[in-house]
Amino acid sequence: MKYPKPYKKGELIGICTPSSGVTGPFENKLAYGIQQMAALGYPSKETSLVRKQHKAASGPAEIRALEFMELYTDPAVKAIIPPWGGELLIDILPYLDFEVLNTLPPKWIMGFSDTSTLLFVMTLKLNMATAHGPNFMDFSNTAVHESVFRALDILGTEPGESFEQHSLTHYQKEWLAVTETEFPPYNLTEKVEWKALGGSKEANFGGRLIGGCLDVLCKLIGTPYAPVEAYLEQFEEEGIIWYLESCEMKASDIYRTLWQMKQCGWFKNCRGVLYGRVEGYEDTQDLTYVDALQAAFGALSIPVLYDADIGHMPPQLTFINGAQAKVYYTEGKAKILQFFV
């Protein structure tokens, strides 16, 4: 596994929009975040489509791909953090030059939601680590949560070293309104409690990490952009930890998607699953998402932790695709170690 050069404070962050652009009051929020981060010692550079939006994307797929390639090939840019995800990142994949990308030193790319499409593909096709963590808009709140800045520290981890994270204490269920002049922090009203499928009080497991947003990763099944089988074979002895979350799926959607992934062999040699808090969710009749997880994973006899700090109900932990991980869970709380080996 190839790890990018550690990111250091003061180095340039590239901002592009491989999926959706930023408009309306959120454009002001982004501008505030760029200014705030620069004042803290984190300069950035944005591409031309960042503040545009048309037909559910920041621009034509070819141009979105080109702007990403421009940042990735720019030696002055040390990390790429899109402002947020969106809907149609998949359209840029045919326009990315993976042969060129494979000749370049790996560079940190971080984000979640639709950005996890790009992270997943880059890790699988280029054997390079990518970071599932905050988007740049998370750095644009008037008070930035400690887990968000922690993500930048994690990007500074040296190859061969490790870092440790713990489950968080409170999370946000409802977003506070963003206006032209107000960019509120996370609304941390709910107590965090990780849970284990089947009610286990304790679980410990390890393996190589891979995952992202279930809504978008499932669209890669059967395409040349998801060579999952090769990744599973590469780390056959260690096994795999899948981390997943969803944002617009009801219980039956979650189950059908996990069923499809399982039929395609994606959970072969899986040592454990982490599933984030579900947003935009509803039960399907009397089927809950816990039922969906049980139906999908129950026969595999592996630990499954859910309501984890991953995804669209912040704050969240940072997970490195390609890193080796060890998970220790005890009665609602968890510790995760990640190793850059």
pLDDT of residue 325: 98
Look up 312 and say whether it is catalytic. yes
Residue 311 inside a domain? The answer is: yes
Catalytic residue among 20, 44, 58, 113: 113
Same domain, 231 and 309: yes
Average pLDDT in the 113-142 region?
98
Look up 70 and say whether it is catalytic. no
Q: How many CB atoms lie within 10 A of CB 230?
A: 10
Same domain, 39 and 154: yes
Residue 255 inside a domain? The answer is: yes
What percentage of residues in the chain have a pLDDT greater than 90? 100
Residue 2 inside a domain? The answer is: no
The Cα 337–Cα 316 span in angstroms is 15
Q: How confident is the model at residue 142 (pLDDT cuts 50, 70, 90)?
A: very high
Same domain, 218 and 313: yes
The helix or strand, by DSSP H or E, that contains position 153, with its residue range, turns out to be: helix 146-155
pLDDT of residue 279: 95
The Cα 10–Cα 253 span in angstroms is 43
Same domain, 262 and 286: yes
Average pLDDT in the 34-49 region?
98
State which of 129, 161, 193 marks the end of a domain. Answer: 161
pLDDT of residue 192: 98
Same domain, 22 and 133: yes
Domain limits for position 252: 171-339
Average pLDDT in the 168-195 region?
97
Query: Phi/psi of residue 108, each to 5°?
Result: -65, 130
Average pLDDT in the 276-280 region?
96
Chain-centroid distance of CA 269 in Å reads 22
The enclosing domain of 242 has a CATH number of 3.50.30.60
Residue 4 inside a domain? The answer is: no
Look up 140 and say whether it is catalytic. no
How many domains is the chain partitioned into structurally? 2
Give the CB-side neighbour count of residue 81, counting CA atoms within 13 A: 30
Catalytic residue among 11, 67, 245, 246: 245
Q: For the whole model, what pTM was predicted? A: 0.97
Q: How confident is the model at residue 243 (pLDDT cuts 50, 70, 90)?
A: very high
